[in-house]
């Protein structure tokens, strides 16, 4: 009886070297995110991109020595400049940071001052609290980083600062965390800008009417909203105040599919702003325009784009039934 030949055991090595090579390649290529590199290496190694990701995170402790040699060969190509990453995966604003990377603390202070200037505030403690919630670092440790008492800081601190700056540039209203109770707040300056914008777009007669309408949905009194707007001693307001004002602004645009109540303001794209003064039968509302005159508009109106086609098919079936009966 013949004994089958035993398969030669594959040699496996630690994945720490593979993780270092991937870090080196991502930094050398100037990638802002290593997703493209995972796909390319997956083709080179003959594995799934998710497996390369696990090598990079060191979730897999070992790998085949042949794959490690393939990684080293591809790394030498990157060093020689034979591999070029697409522009969509490259960027200097949010550059790729290797695992456990650190940055000089001298880079953090200019970013913090830039963020405070954009927010229009001087209180640094709330920024420390927000970064602490994103990175898991203690606020006192962050204070030492920003005061340059330590030479270097984790790269996650710089990433959190840049994320806040990006959120400020895109939305104009970054969300911060208050130290006392961990509540999500925004600077009062952005709340005042949102009130002025809603007043201009929705045509409210005065800010008290706007505060009354918003306070019913938020669950706070209109006097609190008024104090947040007029009192200069108020530095921050809850995030839900700004969210509710944005909802009031979006609901003001007239849409025949929506339902409106008496006293609600709306903006018609052709006739301007007005207020609902009466609700008539058959889903008709009467709107008194600010420029004078009244307007009849629909509400809860559902437009069926295939109604004519169904009516035509039903008429055809009736005609065929009549012909067959004759």
- In this structure, the number of other CB atoms found within 10 A of the CB of residue 77 comes to 12
Domain interval for residue 20 = 12-89
Q: Pairing between strand 102-104 and 152-154?
A: antiparallel
State the pLDDT at residue 97: 53
- Residues 106 and 177 placed together within one structural domain of the fold: yes
How many domains is the chain built from? 4
State the pLDDT at residue 1: 45
Highest mean pLDDT among 166-175, 234-243, 244-253: 234-243
CA atoms within a 13 Å half-sphere pointing along the CA-CB vector of 302: 3
Q: Which of 201, 233, 251 is the last residue of a domain?
A: 251
Average pLDDT, the chain: 77
- Residues 117 and 178 placed together within one structural domain of the fold: yes
Per-residue CA distances from 248 to 124, 203, 217, 264 (Å)? 32, 12, 10, 10
326 lies in a domain?
no
For position 262, which CATH number holds?
Answer: 2.30.30
| H helix or E strand, kind and range, residue 132 | helix 125-135
Query: What share of residues in the chain are helix, strand, coil (percent, to 5)?
Result: 55, 15, 30
Q: Is the pLDDT of residue 314 over 70?
A: no
For residue 251, what are its two tokens?
A: 């609901």
The model's pLDDT over 188-225, given as tens digits with 9 standing for 90+, comes to 777 887 788 777 766 677 888 888 878 877 778 888 88
Cβ pair 26, 96 in contact under 8 A: yes
Give, as one character, the DSSP assignment of residue 5. P
- Residues 28 and 54 placed together within one structural domain of the fold: yes
2 lies in a domain?
no
Q: Which of 38, 60, 89 is the last residue of a domain?
A: 89
State the pLDDT at residue 92: 43
Q: Which of 210, 235, 251 is the last residue of a domain?
A: 251
Q: Is the pLDDT of residue 8 over 60?
A: no
Interatomic CA distance for residues 32 and 18, integer angstroms: 19
Q: pLDDT band at 323, cuts 50/70/90?
A: very low
- Residues 231 and 257 placed together within one structural domain of the fold: no
- Residues 157 and 200 placed together within one structural domain of the fold: no
- Residues 164 and 124 placed together within one structural domain of the fold: yes
3-state secondary structure of 19: helix
Q: Is the pLDDT of residue 298 over 60?
A: yes
Cβ pair 251, 257 in contact under 8 A: no
- Residues 33 and 73 placed together within one structural domain of the fold: yes
Q: What angle do CA 105, 123, 148 make, to 5 degrees?
A: 15
6 lies in a domain?
no
- Residues 282 and 216 placed together within one structural domain of the fold: no
The alpha carbon of residue 319 and the mean position of all alpha carbons in its chain are separated, in whole angstroms, by 57
- Residues 137 and 123 placed together within one structural domain of the fold: yes
117 lies in a domain?
yes
């Amino acid at each position: 009886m013949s004994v089958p030949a035993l398969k030669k055991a594959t040699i496996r090595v630690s994945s720490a070297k593979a993780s270092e090579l991937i870090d080196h390649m991502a930094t050398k290529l100037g990638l802002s995110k290593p997703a493209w590199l995972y796909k390319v290496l997956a083709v080179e190694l003959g594995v799934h991109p998710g497996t390369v990701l696990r090598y990079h995170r060191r979730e897999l402790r070992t790998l085949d020595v042949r794959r490690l040699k393939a990684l080293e060969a591809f790394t030498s190509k990157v060093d020689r400049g034979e591999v070029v990453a697409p522009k969509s995966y490259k960027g200097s604003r949010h550059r790729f940071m290797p695992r456990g990377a650190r940055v000089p603390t001298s880079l953090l202070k200019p970013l913090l001052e830039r963020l405070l200037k954009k927010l229009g505030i001087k209180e640094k403690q709330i920024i420390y609290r927000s970064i602490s919630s994103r990175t898991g670092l203690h606020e006192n440790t962050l204070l030492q980083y920003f005061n340059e008492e330590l030479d270097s800081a984790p790269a996650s601190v710089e990433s959190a600062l840049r994320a806040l700056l990006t959120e400020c540039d895109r939305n104009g209203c970054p969300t911060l965390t208050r130290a006392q109770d961990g509540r999500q707040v925004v600077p009062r300056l952005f709340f005042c800008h949102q009130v002025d914008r809603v007043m201009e777009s929705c045509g409210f007669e005065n800010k008290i009417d706007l505060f009354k309408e918003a306070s019913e949905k938020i669950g706070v009194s209109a006097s609190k909203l008024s104090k947040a707007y007029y009192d200069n001693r108020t530095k921050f307001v809850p995030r839900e105040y700004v969210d509710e004002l944005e909802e009031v602004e979006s609901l003001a645009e007239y849409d025949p599919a929506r339902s409106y109540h008496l006293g609600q303001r709306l903006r018609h794209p052709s006739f301007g702003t007005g207020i609902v003064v009466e609700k008539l039968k058959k889903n008709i509302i009467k709107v008194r325009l600010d420029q004078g005159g009244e307007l009849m508009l629909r509400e809860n109106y559902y437009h069926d784009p295939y109604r004519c086609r169904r009516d035509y098919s039903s008429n055809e079936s009736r005609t065929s039934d009549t012909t067959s009966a004759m």
